[in-house]
Homo-oligomer: A and B are copies of this chain.
Amino acid sequence: MAELTDVDRQDELDSLIREIRDTLGDHDVLKGDDDGERGSPPIEELLRDPDLGRLARKIESLHAADIAMLLESLPRDERLVLWDLVHSHRDGDVLLEVSDSVRDTLIEAMDREEILNVAATLDTDELADLAPDLPEGMMQDVFTALPIDDREKLRFVMSYAEDTIGALMDFDLVTVRGEVTIEVAMRYLRRMDSLPDHTDKLFVIDRDGLFEGVIHLKTLLLNDPETIVESVMETDVVRFHPEDSARDGADAFERYDLVSAPVVDEVDRLVGRVTIDAVVDFIREASDEERLSQVGLSEEEDIFAPVRKSVRNRAPWLAVNLVTALVAAQVIGLFEGSIEKLVALAALMPIVAGMGGNVGNQTITMIVRELAFRKLGGGDIRLLYGKELKVALINGVVWGGVLALVTFLMYQNAGVSGVMLAAVTLNFLSAAFFGVTIPILRTRMGRDPALGSAVMITAITDSGGFFIFLGLASLLLL
């Protein structure tokens, strides 16, 4: 299983994608339609073709992550033919690597037997990752096909929510007893065929399975073989509980530079481990999800997804925006009389609203970032309000002043300029106040402070900005 050894794999992958598309195009094997029914010939027939056979062998030599990348880069029909070319013993690894939306299309194209075969090649923690994407009812079959022991583990992992340590953990533990010598431990290791990936340490347990400490592989290598494990093991190590938050776990991995860490239950019995690769995947996915959720998207869309799926995916945010925009329109409607008398107000009001939105979003971003790595005490919060309001006041006077000047050059109306300065400053202050308040309140309510905060602050600075500006103008100018 070869990695593409050059880190700039892009060129290699690009030429592979071109080769695949050319080969598939030449051989007219693309007869899929949009409903997932495919008329392409069975795989045995495909592989009799020398070009396709050569392609299959080339793919066979790739790392599962690279095969996944190829599948993600191909439109649906070509993707499914390539999926047929992937050796079935690789299917499980590849399914674990592809994105959720591509995984859906691949699983749709598999029959019951194929899915059960794939399930049989996976570890329980990997099965748990795959489970939500399996067709209805199939999970029960997969479950029944497992040995009792694995069923228990699978049920355990699946009982924890996606954002907990329980969902990140695996059971590939190498354990050793504290009272043996390093020599004995090493003889024990040598009897194993291989060690699980990311085994940087062995877990030391007592006769009841209670966690006692860890011993690094390098400690085994550096010490005299006669040394007793207990005497060189580390006991002061970070340990997780299955119900701990995955985000806190990721922080601990980053902070303490961990490669693997033990997971223990409430009586300190060792139940599993978390490894850095699961943590890195979690960090990546969490930041991807955050990016998408900022514009109201779920993660289930790739560029080859059907149009109707995309329309559905993008609807909720547009619906929310529709409502907030209508509220803003109503606010403006209140002042139609003023706008009729002084139409310059219509041109200027979006400036007040828009710049207020910027100030609010800057404040929210700072607070969310702060909240992401620690809880803010009462003193901190007072300090934050004070500081953000001060910054907003200075910015309001500075930028409001610039705008007042520009407005004066445009309209030669000192009253309009004065209202501009006052409205920008007030809207900045409101933006700063709600920019601190919204994420802190959301955190207090146990919600994600980032999610939806931008939409809320923009609604406030829009409607509020229109109200402040048009209200001041109506009071002072007309």
Contact = CB atoms under 8 A, between A and B. Distances in A.
Interface in A215-266: 217-218, 220-224, 236-241, 244-245, 248-249, 252-257, 259
Given A222-B189, A365-B297, A395-B318, A254 B281 contact: yes
Contacts of A222: 189-190, 192-195
Contacts of A366: 297, 301, 303
A211 to B, nearest CB: 11
B383 A75 contact: yes
Contact of A194 (B218, B279, B281): B218
Nearest to A463: B350
Interface stretch (A27-35, A61-69, A137-145): A61-69
Interface string A377-416: 1001001100100110011001100110010001000000
A94 interface: no
Contacts of A477: none
A435 B294 CA distance: 16
Which has the most chain B C-beta neighbours within 10 Å: A244, A259, A350, A353?
Answer: A350
Contacts of A369: 288, 291-292
Contact of A358 (B14, B253, B295): B295
Interface string A309-353: 011001101100110111011101100100110011111111101
A307 B387 contact: yes
A204 to B, nearest CB: 15
Contacts of A240: 7
Interface residues of A, number: 136
Interface string A433-469: 0000000000000000000000000000010001000
A3 interface: yes
B391 A314 contact: yes
A280 B283 contact: yes
A370 interface: yes
Contacts of A13: 374
B387 A303 contact: yes
Contact of A65 (B75, B256, B288, B339): B256
Nearest to A193: B222
A301 to B, nearest CB: 7
Interface string A128-144: 00000000000000000
Given A7-B244, A322-B403, A365-B291, A255 B66 contact: yes
Interface string A159-188: 000000100000000000000000000100
A343 B336 contact: yes
A294 B369 CA distance: 13
A325 B351 contact: yes
B241 A7 contact: yes
Contacts of A97: 255
B195 A362 contact: no
Contact of A284 (B221, B283, B336): B283
A283 B244 CA distance: 22
Given A222-B189, A259-B200, A280 B303 contact: no
B280 A276 contact: yes
Given A8-B248, A195-B221, A288-B369, 8 more contacts: A7-B240, A303-B387, A318-B399, A329-B351, A336-B344, A336-B346, A339-B346, A350-B466
12 contacts: A3-B238, A8-B245, A17-B377, A73-B380, A194-B218, A195-B218, A314-B362, A314-B391, A318-B395, A326-B351, A326-B406, A332-B347
Interface of A: 2-10, 13-14, 17-18, 63, 65-66, 69, 72-73, 75, 97, 165, 186, 189-190, 192-195, 197-200, 217-218, 220-224, 236-241, 244-245, 248-249, 252-257, 259, 276-277, 279-281, 283-284, 287-288, 291-292, 294-297, 301-304, 307, 310-311, 314-315, 317-318, 321-322, 324-326, 328-330, 332-333, 336, 339-340, 343-351, 353-355, 358-359, 361-362, 365-366, 369-370, 373-375, 377, 380, 383-384, 387, 390-391, 394-395, 398-399, 402-403, 406, 410, 462, 466
